[in-house]
């Protein structure tokens, strides 16, 4: 059946319109598909750019121990995270803050370090008041304990020990520190103290590590006397590895010569004054310890009685007013 020109024109227009709509719809669908693909790609890239980091949930002082309880795990873009950000595998058994940090700080490997001090069964907290202390020594610092003789000979007695400064009435002691020492270290320090007391002009002092997170512990060089070495050899509290190391240093190295030719020689030169110095210094140390102990107990007593005194004063004031 033949169609007239008007019908043919209308049909062609309809087909053209449908084709145009299909083309436009295809373009829109293709555009939306590309946009959705780009969004998903961007989300994937952003997700890949995120890293898991540790942030502090409280303020921390330099030298303070921190644990997982002090951390909050969060995700941040790696572009804003420190290059050496801390990961779970970087945490050690005992972590120490290298610097003071505030809550919310994203932790990096350079901000903490591992406490290398051993906590064996023979480790005890020892308190000393006869060391010459650095002016800027602070709680949590790491130190070497050293003995310097009048000749200038200088020995390391114990190395890389974390300092605790006792407080009396919330004020740091000026001449007393506490350190954790193993049994053999305690004997060596005691030996060094006696030698320092006997030798006029000697100095028992401590030096502070400037960056304990990076610096390794010094190697002790102090040569103990024969009596102490015999005690170390017979002491069941000293582990075999430490005993062997001490004897190797004493016998195989220059320990015997240093002891006989330097330390013992200085003690001999002091003569009778060595015994007198020892007695005087020991008495001074004991008196100092007793004084500090009394001050500490007095401060506890004052703290305990303050609330009661305040209450009594308030009641008396009230009664007077009435």
Q: What is the pLDDT of residues 216-227, one digit of tens each?
A: 889 999 988 888
pLDDT-above-90 percentage for the chain:
17
Cβ within 8 Å of residue 136, ≥6 positions away: 208
pLDDT, residue 150, reads: 87
Q: What angle do CA 9, 14, 20 make, to 5 degrees?
A: 125
pLDDT per position as a tens digit, 151-200:
889 999 999 999 999 888 788 888 899 999 988 899 999 999 989 888 88
117-to-93, 97, 222 alpha-carbon distances in Å: 11, 15, 19
- Banded model confidence at residue 31, pLDDT cuts 50, 70, 90: confident
- Banded model confidence at residue 313, pLDDT cuts 50, 70, 90: very low
- Banded model confidence at residue 111, pLDDT cuts 50, 70, 90: confident
- Banded model confidence at residue 128, pLDDT cuts 50, 70, 90: very high
Tell me the average pLDDT across 57-62.
87
pLDDT at 47 over 70: no
**Nearest in space to 135 (alpha carbons), one of 206, 204, 64, 203:** 206
Distance CA 209, CA 202 (A): 22
Domains belonging to the chain, first-starting first, are 50-114 (3.90.1210.10), 124-283 (no CATH)
Tell me the average pLDDT across 19-25.
86
- Distance between first and last Cα of the chain: 124
Tell me the average pLDDT across 115-144.
84
CA 284 to chain centre: 33
pLDDT, residue 252, reads: 60
Q: Which residue did the predictor score with more confidence, 286 or 154?
A: 154
Q: Mean pLDDT lowest for which of 45-49, 69-73, 81-85, 133-137?
A: 45-49
pLDDT at 263 over 60: yes
- Banded model confidence at residue 3, pLDDT cuts 50, 70, 90: low
CB 95, CB 112: distance < 8 Å: yes
Q: What is the mean pLDDT of the chain?
A: 79
pLDDT, residue 206, reads: 94
CA-based R_g, the chain, Å: 37
Cβ within 8 Å of residue 189, ≥6 positions away: 126, 128, 145, 157, 158, 181
pLDDT, residue 118, reads: 56
pLDDT, residue 185, reads: 92
């Amino acid at each position: 059946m033949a169609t007239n020109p008007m019908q043919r024109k209308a049909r062609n227009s309809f087909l053209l319109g449908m084709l145009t709509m299909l083309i436009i719809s295809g373009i829109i669908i293709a555009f939306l598909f590309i946009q959705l693909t780009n969004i998903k790609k961007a989300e994937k890239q952003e997700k890949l750019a995120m890293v898991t980091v540790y942030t502090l949930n409280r303020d921390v002082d330099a030298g303070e121990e921190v644990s997982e309880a002090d951390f909050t795990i969060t995700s941040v873009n790696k572009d804003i995270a420190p290059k050496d950000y801390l990961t779970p595998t970087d945490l050690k058994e005992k972590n120490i803050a290298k610097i003071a940090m505030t809550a919310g700080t994203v932790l990096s490997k350079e901000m903490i370090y591992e406490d290398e001090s051993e906590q064996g069964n023979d480790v005890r907290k020892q308190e000393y008041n006869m060391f010459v202390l650095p002016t800027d020594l602070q709680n949590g610092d790491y130190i070497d304990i050293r003995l310097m003789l009048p000749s200038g000979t200088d020995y390391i007695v114990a190395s890389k020990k974390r300092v605790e400064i006792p407080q009396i009435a919330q004020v740091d002691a000026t001449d007393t520190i506490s350190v954790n020492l193993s049994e053999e270290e305690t004997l060596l320090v005691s030996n060094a103290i006696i030698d320092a007391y006997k030798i006029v002009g000697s100095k028992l002092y401590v030096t502070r590590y400037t960056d304990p997170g990076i610096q390794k512990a010094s190697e002790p060089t102090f040569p103990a006397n024969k009596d102490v070495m015999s005690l170390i050899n017979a002491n069941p509290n000293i582990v075999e590895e430490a005993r062997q190391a001490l004897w190797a240093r004493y016998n195989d190295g220059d320990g015997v010569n240093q002891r006989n030719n330097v330390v013992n020689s200085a003690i001999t030169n002091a003569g009778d004054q060595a015994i007198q110095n020892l007695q005087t210094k020991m008495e001074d140390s004991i008196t100092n310890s007793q004084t500090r102990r009394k001050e500490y107990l007095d401060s506890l007593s004052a703290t305990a009685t303050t609330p009661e005194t305040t209450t009594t004063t308030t009641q008396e004031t009230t009664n007077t007013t009435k």
